[in-house]
Amino acid sequence: MQIAVLLYDRFTTLDAVGPYELLARLPGAETVFVAKEPGPVRGDQGSLALVADKALGDVPRPDIVLVPGGPGSREAMHDPEILDWLRTADATSTWTTSVCTGSLVLAGAGLLAGRRAACHWLALDELAPLGAESTGERVVVDGKYVTAAGVSSGIDMALHLLGRIAGDATAQTIQLLTEYDPQPPYDAGSPAKAPAAIVAHWRGQAEKVLVQE
């Protein structure tokens, strides 16, 4: 079982590391971070780089493909080298997955045509023009395509995947060992729950949040 996590400039680091931390604990799994070129790839906040150990071409047939989101998804979703790799990897993958605006990259590769998908709440409207049907769900499973909403939702996605791949007991074990018993001190994690003024403000700043940062 090989898991490939795609990195590209200005990805959001938690989109990748959240599900990685859980999925990589799957017994027997080998996880590889890949990018157009091996080496450090800097995330969207500028202060953290993750190392891609392999180039895209070194990992042509992963069992699980994971695409994080981030402002750099706007370039990645039009990058022929990344899109070619995604299409090739998807041809033999068991699961093709994304977090946040990573679903726009999958859609850019034509992989979500006619499928239901999740995305960051500020970018949900961008799925339809790419042929996918947006939903307000946190994790969407449509066939082998599993997409998650914004940033932190990849952790929930990983638990869904672990359950389907290895069964409930393995998923529960990994939840326990990573102590994923969320107790946020606020209940503002979705536009339906956050204070309306905050949601309205950021709806007007979507371009800034999703593209420029």
The C-alpha atoms of residue 141 and residue 20 are separated, in whole angstroms, by: 18
Which candidate in 5, 100, 112, 166 is catalytic? Answer: 100
Binds a copy of itself by CB under 8 A, chosen from 91, 193, 200, 207: 193
Residue with tokens 């969320």: 182
Nearer to a copy of itself, 80 or 182 (CB): 182
The C-alpha atoms of residue 9 and residue 48 are separated, in whole angstroms, by: 11
Tokens of 18: 């959240």
Q: How far is the CB of 122 from a copy of itself (least distance, A)?
A: 8
Q: How far is the CB of 3 from a copy of itself (least distance, A)?
A: 9
The C-alpha atoms of residue 4 and residue 193 are separated, in whole angstroms, by: 34
For residues 114 to 153, the per-residue mask of contacts with a copy of itself, x marking binding by CB under 8 A and - elsewhere, is ------xx----------------xx---------xxxxx
CA nearest to 100, candidates 179, 18, 173: 18
Q: How far is the CB of 15 from a copy of itself (least distance, A)?
A: 9
Q: How far is the CB of 24 from a copy of itself (least distance, A)?
A: 5
Assess whether 119 carries a catalytic annotation. Answer: no
Q: Which residues make Cβ contacts (< 8 Å) with residue 59, sequence separation at least 6?
A: 2, 4, 32, 34, 89
The C-alpha atoms of residue 148 and residue 203 are separated, in whole angstroms, by: 20
Amino acid identity of residue 14, one-letter, is L
Binds a copy of itself by CB under 8 A, chosen from 1, 79, 135, 189: 189
Nearer to a copy of itself, 131 or 144 (CB): 144
Nearer to a copy of itself, 84 or 125 (CB): 125
Considering the rule CB under 8 A, would residue 28 count as an interface residue with a copy of itself? no
Query: What are the DSSP E strand ranges found in 74-120?
Result: 95-99, 116-117
Considering the rule CB under 8 A, would residue 95 count as an interface residue with a copy of itself? no
Binds a copy of itself by CB under 8 A, chosen from 31, 93, 96, 134: 31
Terminal alpha carbon distance of the chain:
34
Residue 81: CB atoms within 10 Å = 12
Tokens of 176: 């326990």
Choices 16-24, 58-66, 83-91, 103-111; region in contact with a copy of itself by CB under 8 A: 16-24
Active site amino acids: 100
